[in-house]
Amino acid sequence: MKIIRTKDYADMSRKAANIISAQVIMKPDCVLGLATGGTPVGTYEKLVERYNEGDLDFSEVTSVNLDEYRGLPKEHPESYWSFMHRNLFDHVNIDPAHINLPDGTNLDAEAECKRYDEVIRSVGGVDLQLLGIGHDGHIGFNEPHDAFDLGTHCVDLAQETIEANKRFFDGNVDLVPKQAYTMGIRTIMQARKVLMVVNGVGKAEIVKKAFFGPVTPEVPASILQLHPDFILVGDEEALSLI
Ligand code: F6R
């Protein structure tokens, strides 16, 4: 595990974007595993800047996203499909045919999970997987559990996640999706490089627990301690306890 300490959110975003840029420059037809959430927004901004400056070319890049809500139309502003287009895909020259997310509109969970695993396999696996971390140590939608989930699977969202998300759905809990499709831990661990971004004092406890505590499915991110090429890029606050 390599830890890169950064000053603040902007510095974290720039350094994470440096690593992703290096990947795209060294292997223009690479497969990027991408994440949503608040933490990587600044990283995507920096990538768009580099693209606009002429330093990055996404024309041969393939993307596979970690997760998507089940049952939400793609065009819904809170779908991860919309998030990725808003924050990255609409601003760079990635080929739309090379963009992959779990299809939340396919309600046949078994078929969709199988299809997505097959997509990841058919593109040759992930070269670089970008991750954030939840306060309980989740990665993707892999929540604390008594075993590590392996491939893409359908998860029931925790009640607190549903409550937390209702602000994005007119404050109406009934409109919040109750399930999501997520890549599993095996797929994440098979990525050739894993890059996690983390910021803010609120994540300091979980960073310590996940990366300096025991490896356990009760803290899903802890398994990354065993990854041969795992880079943690955090700001001072998030890394303040390690
Ligand atoms: C997003 C994802 C989640 C987030 C995590 C942290 O695709 O898979 O695991 O990375 O919930 O979210 P933020 O960055 O909003 O703190």
Could you report the per-residue pLDDT of 8-46, keeping only the tens digit for each?
A: 999 999 999 999 999 999 999 999 999 999 999 999 999
Q: Is the CB of 35 under 6 A from ligand 1?
A: yes
pLDDT at 162: 86
Among residues 138, 149, 153, 235, which one is catalytic? 138
Q: Is the CB of 66 under 6 A from ligand 1?
A: yes
Domain coordinates of the chain in residue numbers? Answer: 2-235
pLDDT at 164: 76
Phi first, then psi: give them for residue 121, nearest 5 degrees.
-65, -45
User: For ligand 1, atom 9, which residue shows the shortest CA distance?
Assistant: 140
pTM for this prediction: 0.96
Could you report the per-residue pLDDT of 192-217, keeping only the tens digit for each?
A: 999 999 999 999 999 999 999 999 99
Residue type, 9: Y
DSSP letters for the chain: -EEEEESSHHHHHHHHHHHHHHHHHH-TT-EEEE--SSTTHHHHHHHHHHHHTT----TT-EEEESEEETT--TTSTTSHHHHHHHHTGGGS---GGGEE---TT---HHHHHHHHHHHHHHTTS-SEEEE---TTS-BTTB-S-SS---S-EEEEPPHHHHHHHGGGTTT-GGGS-SEEEE--HHHHHHSSEEEEEE-SGGGHHHHHHHHHS--BTTBGGGGGGG-TTEEEEEETTTTTT-
Could you report the per-residue pLDDT of 116-142, keeping only the tens digit for each?
A: 999 999 999 999 999 999 999 999 999
Q: Is the CB of 139 under 6 A from ligand 1?
A: yes
Q: Which atom of ligand 1 is nearest to the CA of 197?
A: 14
Is residue 67 flagged as an active site residue? yes
- 37 C-alpha vs ligand 1 centroid, how far in Å? 4
Is residue 143 flagged as an active site residue? yes
Residue among 76, 24, 44 nearest 197 (CA) = 44
pLDDT at 106 over 80: yes
Q: Is the CB of 33 under 6 A from ligand 1?
A: no
- 142 C-alpha vs ligand 1 centroid, how far in Å? 10
Phi first, then psi: give them for residue 153, nearest 5 degrees.
-150, 170
The residues with which 69 forms a beta bridge, in sequence order, are 180
Question: Which residue is listed with tokens 């390599």?
Answer: 2
Cα separation, 194 vs 52, in Å, equals 25
Q: Is the CB of 157 under 6 A from ligand 1?
A: no
User: What CATH class has 2-235?
Assistant: alpha beta
